[in-house]
Amino acid sequence: MNIVILSRNPHLYSTKRLVEAAKQRKHTVEVIDPLKCEIIIEKKNPAVLYKGKPLEGVDAIIPRIGASVTFYGTAVVRQFEMMKVFSTVESQALVRSRDKLRSLQVLSRAGLGMPKTVFSNYTKDVAEVIKYVGGAPLVIKLLEGTQGLGVVLAETNNAAESVLEAFNGLHARVIVQEFIKESKGADIRAFVVDGNVVGAMKRQGKEGEFRSNLHRGGSANIIQLTDEEENAALKAAKSLGLGICGVDMLQSARGPLILEVNSSPGLEGIEAATKKDIAKTIIRFIERNV
């Protein structure tokens, strides 16, 4: 098969591992920067140009679209879909998962547990927002934040009011969530491929840090999910229509609580923690569907 990986950086761990896995399975693989693609929209003849030449004979694509290039990256994925090329992550699912507010609404409709969450339109009544999530401590997240950036833990009601008023003044859209104390600065990432959890890790924030992101100095260890946690991860992936995703959740006294679902999850942390060849699993996912 001829596989194209849509990635802006061929030197990233995840991109390199996918290239290795594809070659080991005897496939032809090429890394293409989606921002350097040109989309040709024509009746019955959609095409993608790369460096001035049409991309032809592509059997499957693996989108590794960063949050900052979601709009154009998704348009490129959509164009390949119009050319009848299989994508490991569908364009609509990618868009749905990148909209934090929409994805939380979809997950809520699917009956999944989540921390109490409030979104408002720059309300002046910040005290009411704080009250709805049970008061401080609470977490305030920028809607556009990734990798733990734009996430604030407000320890007191006064601090929460100050942060919310500051964000409102900057016209920065935020969501406010209850702080789950019993998670103790740790979360779980379940890596889902084609309707199966293929690996799971528990990420622990460094001392004094409530964010568990590995990019922020957190550590990760393999974990055996409970049936409830595995079911929640699979249900979250299915509700958002994602063939590949990382489902982040907290362990709480009332069961697993979904934080977010990442449509371009990194491979480095999960492969290091689980010692599993997740990249090969993704290539085999393509083989089953093409």
> Where is average pLDDT lowest: 2-6, 128-132, 228-232?
128-132
**Residues ≥6 apart with Cβ < 8 Å to 174:** 119, 140, 141, 142, 143, 164, 167
Do 2-96 and 117-179 show the same overall fold? no
Structure confidence at residue 248 (pLDDT): 96
| Per-domain residue ranges of the chain | 2-96, 117-179, 182-289
User: Residue 23: is its pLDDT beyond 70?
Assistant: yes
Q: Pick one of 3.40.50.720, 3.20.20.70, 3.30.1490.20, 2.40.50.100 as the CATH number of 117-179.
A: 3.30.1490.20
2-96: CATH topology is: Rossmann fold (3.40.50)
- Are 154 and 129 a contacting pair, CB within 8 Å? no
Q: Report residue 222's pLDDT band, with 50, 70 and 90 as the boundaries.
A: very high
Tell me, what amino acid is at 20?
A: E
0.75 surpassed by pTM: yes
Q: Pick one of 3.30.470.20, 3.40.50.261, 3.30.70.260, 3.30.450.20 as the CATH number of 182-289.
A: 3.30.470.20
Structure confidence at residue 251 (pLDDT): 94
User: Residue 282: is its pLDDT beyond 90?
Assistant: yes
Closest CA to 244 of 273, 214, 283: 283
pLDDT-above-90 percentage for the chain: 78
- Are 168 and 123 a contacting pair, CB within 8 Å? yes
pLDDT average, residue stretch 160-180: 91
Structure confidence at residue 196 (pLDDT): 98
User: Residue 43: is its pLDDT beyond 70?
Assistant: yes
Q: What's the pLDDT tens digit per position in 247-278? A: 999 999 999 999 999 999 999 999 999 999 99
Q: Report residue 146's pLDDT band, with 50, 70 and 90 as the boundaries.
A: low
Q: What's the pLDDT tens digit per position in 3-13? A: 999 999 999 99
pLDDT-above-70 percentage for the chain: 94
Q: What's the pLDDT tens digit per position in 47-86? A: 999 998 999 999 999 999 998 899 999 999 999 999 999 9
Structure confidence at residue 212 (pLDDT): 52
